[in-house]
Structure 1
Amino acid sequence: MSSPTLISPDKLARLIGTAKTPALIDVRTEEDFAADPRLIPGAVRRNHEEAADWGEEFSGHPAIVFCLRGQKLAQGTAAWLRHLHVDAETLEGGFEGWKAAKLPLVPASKLPGRNAQGQTVWVTRARPKIDRIACPWLIRRFVDPNAVFLFVAPSEVVAVGERFNAAPFDIENVFWSHRGELCTFDVMVEEFGLATPPLLRLATMVRAADTARLDLSPEAPGLLAASLGLSRMYDDDLEQLEAGIALYDAFYRWCRDATGETHNWPTNKAKP
């Protein structure tokens, strides 16, 4: 019988990408991390020796801790966190178990540098519609749950990025931008190693709505309508972002779990 403080890779994979994802804490040694510098989606790196110092930041929240194989470093760190009122579990098999299950891994080299609070910072054009909501959703759910997004005048995006150490996205002539027929969301899914069937389906919807090629996806007109509606409902870009994240949560769960479900009322049966 498995331990109540263990979670399987498959079960964790079902949580990642949802609003219920626990904090993911990578306590691999520097040597182990250097051997494979990739991260389980959304994970943060921490030093196991300092768990008593940094553990308080996760107090009152669920967390999953993993080391290379899910043994002494992860289990010891999780035990410390439970003393600090963190509902901490360890990942069965650790990083190696996740990798053996062929689950997504994010190259750490693709992440921008973090600020003093450990957050990645991103900057884009103000008044977002589709790509500039979809990309922050992807980053918050699969890359950095604490990411900060700055919305500024289009002409100032690059300069703000330089002055505030923020990664610019969805503007011309930067790394995180459209490439050929792909939109920025497509690029992020690919570059972050997140090309799973649900996210690829969602990427097609986003691309279709964002580039006015609605024939690519039957669901794209609905995404476009919802996105434009949100842009009319909110004057504050950050409020719109929070509402948009809930919208993309719903579209992602449909892509992952509900594409085969149909609505069967009324039944349209012929009357006798």
Structure 2
Amino acid sequence: MPALNTISPDKLARLVALPGSPSLVDLRSDTSIAIPGSVFRAQSDPSSWRPVGGNSVVTIDAEGTGGAVAAAAILRSEGVSAEALEGGFAAWLAGGLPTVSLTHLPPRHTDGRTWWVTRARPKVDRIACPWLIRRFIDSEARFLFVAPSEVLTVAAQQQAEPFDVSDDRVMWSHRGEFCTFDVMVDAFGLSGDEALTRLAAIVRGADTDRLDVAPEAAGLLAMSLGLSRIYDDDHAQLEAGMIVYDALYRWSRDARGEKHNWTSHQPGRVPAHKEVSA
């Protein structure tokens, strides 16, 4: 049973990358590998941290021996619901739980966020990739949508990372039969997440017009094109698309075995009453 005001690694693992999950604040100096979705904050004064979003906060240090406990206590004194990860990052690793490699993470701006830029009027990959980044890489990432001819110019001017652009100088783009989403899953060390791997096949099929790759690819393509017709604002479309990918990821993780038809959710039939003869 976890100590007071702590959360166990197994319990936290069930919440990671889901909408409404706790904000994960990593206090370690090693930022090369982390729990998916973590943000990094200066440990010196937790009361000065700007809001990190989410319904609550989980603080993480190396071994759960003090820094995270103190930070969570300070946050609670500020009225924030906060717990420390029991055993720290070491316990997370010991449990064989998923991590994200941040070796290829672009430099953060002075606001602590990574900035990314891509082509305007997104359809599939340019919504799927921001979803992946916000849920697994940098929950506070900023995305810029510009005309295709302006992507690399804006990237240089604003120190934003370009993605899903057909240019040999861009790391985050299609490679062979794989789409940008595939490339990100692999480069960020997330290939071990079976649910993400299944989702990547759906994205690849929808994004590359190979609907035979996964049965769900046609449905994702239809929803993506529909959203692009509904929204003129790319950021509003991204927010709506986040829900689509949240649902697909949760289905891929937990609900693939569930079936549905006209009778699967009907109440059971009450047997006809048999009259007892006198």
Q: What TM-score, normalized by structure 1, do the two folds share?
A: 0.91
Matching residue within 98, 101, 120 for 1:104? 98
Contact 2:33/2:99 (8 A) holds in 1: yes
Letter of the aligned partner of 1:16 in structure 2? Answer: V
C-alpha separation between the residues in 1 aligned to 2:251 and 2:35? 23
Work out the CA distance in 2 between the residues paired with 1:250 and 1:57.
26
Partner of 1:26: 26
Q: Distance in 2 between matches of 1:22 and 1:59?
A: 8
Q: Percent identity?
A: 56
Query: Quick one: which amino acid aligns to residue 197 of structure 1?
Result: E
Instruction: Give the aligned length.
Output: 261
- One of 261, 267, 272 as aligned partner of 1:264: 261
Q: Within 2, Cα distance between the matches of 1:215 and 1:53? A: 51
CA distance in 1, matches of 2:241, 2:228: 9
The worse-fitting range, judged by mean Cα deviation, of 163-172 and 4-13 is: 4-13
Residue 10 of structure 2 is matched in structure 1 by 10
Kindly provide the CA deviation profile for residues 198-228 of structure 1, in whole angstroms up to 9, marking residues without a partner as x: 0000000000110111111011111111111
Q: What is the CA-CA distance between 1:4 and the residue it aligns to?
A: 4.2
Report the secondary structure of 2:117's partner residue. strand
Instruction: Provide the residue aligned with 1:77 in structure 2.
Output: 71
Match of 1:270?
Answer: none
Taking the TM superposition and a 5 Å limit, the aligned residue runs for 1:233-248 are 233-248=230-245
Which structure is higher in helix share? 1
1:191 and 2:221 matched: no
What does residue 213 of structure 1 align with?
Answer: 210
Q: Measure the CA separation in 2 of the matches of 1:2 and 1:44.
A: 23
Match of 2:124 in 1: 130
Residue-by-residue CA offset, 1:62-86 (whole Å, 9 max, x unaligned): 1000111111111111111111111
Amino acid at match of 1:190: D
Q: Secondary structure of 1:141's partner?
A: helix
Amino acid at match of 1:182: F
Query: Structure 1 residue 106: deviation in Å?
Result: 2.0
1:262 partner SS = coil
Q: Does 1:170 align with 2:167?
A: no
**In 2, Cα distance between the equivalents of 1:62 and 1:149?**
24
Superposition deviation, residue 129 in structure 1? 0.3
Residue 136 (structure 2) aligns with = 142
Residue 61 of structure 1: CA displacement? 4.3
2:36 partner amino acid: P
Distance change >3 Å, CA 189–CA 67, structure 1 → 2: same
**Given residue 220 of structure 2, which amino acid in structure 1 is its aligned partner?**
L
Structure 2: which 5+ residue stretches go unaligned? 265-278
Paired residue type of 1:68: A
Q: Which amino acid aligns with 1:217?
A: A
3-state SS of 2:18 partner? coil
Match of 1:66 in 2: 60
Superposed displacement of residue 58, structure 1: 4.5
Aligned residues of 1:58 and 1:86 also touching (Cα < 8 A) = no
Tell me the CA shift for residue 41 of structure 1.
Answer: 1.1
Counterparts of 1:134 and 1:4, CA distance in 2: 38
Say which is worse superposed, 75-84 or 60-69, in terms of deviation.
60-69
State the distance in 2 between where 1:53 and 1:259 align. Answer: 43
- Deviations, residues 86-120 of structure 1 (Å, cap 9, x unaligned): 11101111111111122222223211111221111
Secondary structure at the residue paired with 2:92? helix
Report the AA paired with residue 152 of structure 1. Answer: V
SS at match of 2:138: coil
Of 199, 213, 221, which residue of structure 2 is paired with 1:202?
A: 199
Larger radius of gyration: 2
For the residue of structure 2 that corresponds to 1:109, the secondary structure is: coil
Q: Which residue of 2 aligns with 1:181?
A: 177
Distance of 1:120 and 1:47 partners within structure 2: 16
Cα shift at 1:266:
4.0
Gaps of 5+ in 1: 268-272
Maintained 8 Å contact 1:60/1:86:
no
Correspondence 1:37-52 to 2 at 5 A: 37-52=32-47
Name the SS for the 2:121 alignment partner.
coil
Give the drift of 1:46.
Answer: 2.0
